[in-house]
Amino acid sequence: ICRDAAGKLANAFVCTANIAAHDGGASIIAGNEKVLAARLSDARFFYETDLKVPLEQQAEKLKDIVFHEKLGTVAERVERIAKLARHLTESGVIAGANPDLVERAARLCKADLVTGMVGEFPELQGLMGGYYAIAQGEDASVAAAIQDHYKPVGQGDDVPSAPVTLAVSLAEKLDTLTQFFGVDMQPTGSKDPFALRRAALAVIRLLVENGIRYPIAETHGLLDFFVDRLKVQQREAGVRHDLIDAVIALGGEDDLVRLLARVKALQSFVTTEDGTNLLAAYKRAANILKAAQYAAPALAGSTLLPAEADLLAALDAAEPKAASAVEGEQFEAAMAALASLRAPIDAFFEGVMVNDEDPAKRVFRLGLLARFRDAVHRVADFSKIEG
């Protein structure tokens, strides 16, 4: 595509040839101009013809196009997208969008598939729908949503941020994923004929880059699939996959924005001296508890050693702080609460024999380690962390 100095489309083109140009390339240029003129003439004809039919009327023809033999027609798909897009708006998942405009955009977003222009130039789907919408007097936000609802297509593609576009784009991709998974047609190995991995990555980018809080658990068993895609996507950003596992393992975390915030706070913590030592102490405690087959909470002790009393006091202080911080999404504060356990747990291992000959002392000390493990689990499952 050639553009002028102002960035607008220029009436010029570039062509290449692998033959010698004896006339300075004049015949090659003339031949390409003839071909291009014919294509542009066709495009103008299709454009002018398509404009005679309102998009709403074009959309009625979608009932004659099969989306997939198990999933009905494109018209049925559009109906699902429209309902979901409106729900995303009315429920507050997508803020700032007019539900009526969202539904209007969703109902027209596939209409250009039956136009002459897109039939001849399939790569223009969406783009032409947006142009037709503007020409036919649709709201600008509706036209923009029609034009951009396929985005993001690839990793380098722009992510929509306009509320109406965002609602339609997200609904379109969620419909793709839930419908194909619903008929057990998820990707297997290297095979992904319906580009579901790409759709999942697009959903992740739409949610994360726009800070949208959406419960992925509502997407019919797709959480594991999204988590796998999230690991792939975040690897390029330097986020460790084992830390994603450590947060997911606790259960109940299906908000990708919140999940990533927890993971990034955890990654910052485990690279510190406190984090490294606490991880080592956790794994030591977990191994002792596993060997002893102990899982019960701490029992009341009588006379405590200073290291026992200090650890018990630290746990009493850290557990509620960590829980409250996680609940309030103050994940750095949650890590700080865990860091406060580092010195007392180190002192405990240094000065206390856990497997004491006295059964009462042994059970109490195992109980302290169980409380320590459980306190850490309020933030993340450290057993999933490598190192």
Count H helices and E strands in the chain, helices first: 17, 2
Q: What pLDDT shows up at residue 359?
A: 86
Q: What pLDDT shows up at residue 302?
A: 65
**Same domain as 189, residue 44:** no
Q: DSSP for 28-67?
A: HHHHHHHHHHHHHHHHHHHHHHHTTS-HHHHHGGGGGSEE
The larger pLDDT score, comparing residue 252 to residue 64, is at 64
Stretch among 97-111, 215-229, 277-291, 346-360 having the lowest mean pLDDT: 215-229
Q: What CATH number does residue 365 fall under?
A: 1.10.730
Token pair 């459980």 is found at: 374
Averaged pLDDT score across all residues of the chain: 93
Stretch among 64-68, 147-151, 194-198, 215-219 having the lowest mean pLDDT: 215-219
Give me the mean pLDDT over the 172-192 stretch: 93
Which has the closest alpha carbon to 319: 249, 384, 261, 374?
Answer: 374
Task: Give the number of domains in the chain.
Answer: 3
**Same domain as 38, residue 124:** no
Label residues 272-298 b or e (16+ Cβ within 10 Å = b): eebbeebbbbbeebbebbeebeeeeeb
Alpha carbons 373 and 51: distance in angstroms, whole number: 67
**Same domain as 183, residue 127:** yes
**Same domain as 176, residue 99:** yes
Is the separation of the CB atoms in 160 and 166 below 8 Å?
yes
pLDDT tens-digit map of 312-342: 999 999 999 999 999 999 999 999 999 999 9
Q: What pLDDT shows up at residue 299?
A: 59
First to last CA, the chain: 51
**Same domain as 243, residue 277:** no
pLDDT of 158 above 60: yes
- Domain region containing 116: 57-267
Per the structure block, which two tokens stand in for 381?
């499952």
**Same domain as 45, residue 107:** no
Q: What's the gap between Cα 220 and its chain centre?
A: 15
**Same domain as 109, residue 233:** yes
CA distances, 124 to each of 50, 65, 87, 242, 299 (Å): 14, 18, 28, 41, 70
Q: What percent of the chain has pLDDT over 70?
A: 96
**Same domain as 263, residue 150:** yes
| Domain boundary pick from 207, 236, 267 | 267
55 by Cβ neighbours in 10 Å (0-12 / 13-18 / 19+) ranks as buried
Q: What's the gap between Cα 167 and its chain centre?
A: 15
CA distances, 352 to each of 347, 359, 367 (Å): 8, 14, 13
Neighbours of 54 (CB within 10 A): 16
**Same domain as 62, residue 26:** no
**Same domain as 297, residue 216:** no
**Same domain as 177, residue 306:** no
Q: What pLDDT shows up at residue 84?
A: 98
Alpha carbons 194 and 178: distance in angstroms, whole number: 12
Give me the mean pLDDT over the 148-175 stretch: 96
Q: Residue 24 — left, alpha, or beta (φ > 0 → left; ψ -120 to 50 → alpha)?
A: left
Residue ranges with strand state E in the chain? 66-68, 72-73
pTM of the model: 0.87
Per the structure block, which two tokens stand in for 371?
């409380």
pLDDT of 104 above 80: yes
- 295 pLDDT band, cuts 50/70/90, is low
What type of residue sits at position 169?
S
Alpha carbons 301 and 309: distance in angstroms, whole number: 10
**Same domain as 182, residue 129:** yes
